[in-house]
Amino acid sequence: MKNTIITFLAILPLLGACTKKSNDILIGEFGSLTGNDATFGLSTNKGLRMAFDEINAAGGINGKKIKLITIDDQGKSEEAASAVTRLITQDNVVAIIGEVASGRSIAAAPIAQKHQIPMVTHASTNPEVTKKGDFIFRTCFIDPFQGFVGAKFSIQTLKAKKAAILRDVKSDYSVGLADVFATEFKNMGGEIIADLSFQGGDLDFKAQLTQIRSKNPDVIFIPGYYTEVGLMAKQARELGIKVPLVGGDGWDSARLHEIGKEAINGSYYSNHYTTESTDPTVVEFIKKFKEKFNETPDSMAALSYDTAKILAAAIGRTKELTPKNIRDELAKTTDFPGVTGKITINADRNAVKSAVIVQVQGPERKYISTVSP
């Protein structure tokens, strides 16, 4: 008898977990909550929580509540792959959201595809990500467009004729974006006078910058993430390099200016949305986000908020809640009115959207222009 009670008590929590499981819609998230690009994962997690809290407060989806299960991949590709394996095989999620960094999405996507669990990346812009299979989606634009935007801005607005590139050779995002920029810049009549390498985690870029200085470029294109870009800006100014730095969405973090200080002021990058927008959807989003988290949402927070809403809408349209049905409904996403623009998923499971150019001005980002595809 005693044994029976003990056994019964021991399985009680399990029973509880099972019952809970069947009532909730389990969605997995993997992201860099710690490590070199920690603001990426922290921001996306906030955007997702805000969206799902809103949906749950309004009654959930067809009477069921969403439960978000988040795993920190520490900004490492191997951890991203094992996080996705765990979300699928142990947590039994019906869909996955992540990652920000293209390299980590590329590492994880084949696993989601193999298990036929839909994975939606909110922010990975490298084309390869969604090529991993028909269960892999994205809600942001891709780098062939972003690289074109950077080149066009450099040539037409900054009147640059000679550009130098500093690329992170270990990052799929950086290499892809650097290649597109180089091609587009040359197509538009510009010249690439230096194309040099670094690696994420490096601290000293003086050798590359000294070489670049000797070639007198009009701009330096740096398709990196905010930590290295902040350090490069400082070192470039210390070496007397005065030309504008231009980059992509990987710059978008409050940490960029905290690291780069005044050295990064005046430089430009392409991004997914502007906090200066007067669109009521954006204004409302920023207001609610500030109330909840006491900070201005960066583009990853906005993208993840949109992604959560798009995924929830797809789930809401399914007749029966299966990963395959969610996949099919995600593919039908058309003209979703997001904070980051109107989102339609195309036949390649990518979103076709405008990009904005912003200028760093201390902790603020000044809106410069919008470029449509």
Binding site for ligand PHE (CB under 6 A): 40, 100-102, 123-126, 173, 249-250, 252, 299-300
Nearer residue to ligand PHE within complex by CB, 172 or 218: 172
C-alpha to C-alpha distance for 169 and 176, rounded to whole angstroms: 10
Report, in Å, the least distance between residue 102 CB and ligand PHE: 3
C-alpha to C-alpha distance for 123 and 272, rounded to whole angstroms: 9
Report, in Å, the least distance between residue 55 CB and ligand PHE: 23
C-alpha to C-alpha distance for 221 and 199, rounded to whole angstroms: 15
Report, in Å, the least distance between residue 78 CB and ligand PHE: 17
Identity of the amino acid at 352: V
Q: Which residue is nearest to ligand PHE (CB)?
A: 173
Q: Can you say how many angstroms the Cα of residue 178 is from the centroid of all Cα atoms in its chain?
A: 17
Report, in Å, the least distance between residue 63 CB and ligand PHE: 34
Report, in Å, the least distance between residue 226 CB and ligand PHE: 8
Tell which residue, 74, 88, 84, has the closest CA to residue 41: 74
- Dump the DSSP string for 330-346: HHT--SEEETTEEE-B-
Q: Residue 305: phi, psi to the nearest 5? A: -60, -50
Report, in Å, the least distance between residue 117 CB and ligand PHE: 21
Cis peptide, bond prior to residue 364, ω within 30 of zero: no
Nearer residue to ligand PHE within complex by CB, 225 or 336: 225
Nearer residue to ligand PHE within complex by CB, 67 or 170: 170
Report, in Å, the least distance between residue 297 CB and ligand PHE: 12
Nearer residue to ligand PHE within complex by CB, 247 or 323: 247
193 is written with which tokens? 């006078």
Nearer residue to ligand PHE within complex by CB, 56 or 124: 124
Nearer residue to ligand PHE within complex by CB, 56 or 130: 130
Nearer residue to ligand PHE within complex by CB, 298 or 329: 298
Show the DSSP H helices in 168-222 as ranges: 172-187, 206-215
Report, in Å, the least distance between residue 290 CB and ligand PHE: 19
Identity of the amino acid at 292: K
Report, in Å, the least distance between residue 89 CB and ligand PHE: 26
191 is written with which tokens? 């010249």
Measuring CA to CA, how many Å separate 242 from each of 192, 215, 262, 263?
18, 13, 12, 9
**Angle, CA of 159, 142 and 243, to the nearest 5°:** 25
Identity of the amino acid at 355: A
Nearer residue to ligand PHE within complex by CB, 102 or 333: 102
Give bridge partners of residue 209 from the DSSP assignment: none
Nearer residue to ligand PHE within complex by CB, 43 or 56: 43
Contact between residue 139 and residue 122 where contact means Cβ atoms under 8 Å apart:
yes
- What torsion do the CA atoms of 368, 253, 275, 349 make, to the nearest 10 degrees? 90
C-alpha to C-alpha distance for 327 and 332, rounded to whole angstroms: 9
Contact between residue 31 and residue 44 where contact means Cβ atoms under 8 Å apart:
yes
